[in-house]
Amino acid sequence: MPRKVEKTAAEWAELLPADTFQVARQKGTERAFTGEYNNHKGDGEYVCACCGDRLFDSRHKYDSGSGWPSFFQPADGVEIEEERDESHGMVRVEVLCQSCGAHLGHVFPDGPRPTGNRYCINSASLRFKDREEAS
């Protein structure tokens, strides 16, 4: 069972940079091709910008051309929470951090093998840890 991190909106707003708060806590979306990790090529792990839990591994990252960091699966052993999202006149699957409920982005069934999934994630919801630091 994952740990649960619970804070009020005011507590999150005090702890997080404004862009991270707007995206991760208020279900915002950064503009395509503007995020810090869209073209990022480092070797390591991407963790939740709110609670620090592991989310994605750079070995599962690929260039989808969408303008957001894309992964074909979460990091090994990581469960990502999914919810139906009917906002903006679309039906999508929202992905959230299982520990703190942070909005990460959406998952689409148009990714590469082996999963066929594209986890389209906002850079503002992530922090990168170099593999040497992550171990």
Active site residues: 120
Q: Which residues contact 99 (CB under 8 A, 6 or more apart)?
A: 2, 3, 4, 5, 48, 51, 53
Residue 39 is encoded by which pair of tokens? 């073209």
Q: Which residues contact 9 (CB under 8 A, 6 or more apart)?
A: 25
CA dist 73 → 7, 12, 25, 35 (Å): 28, 27, 22, 20
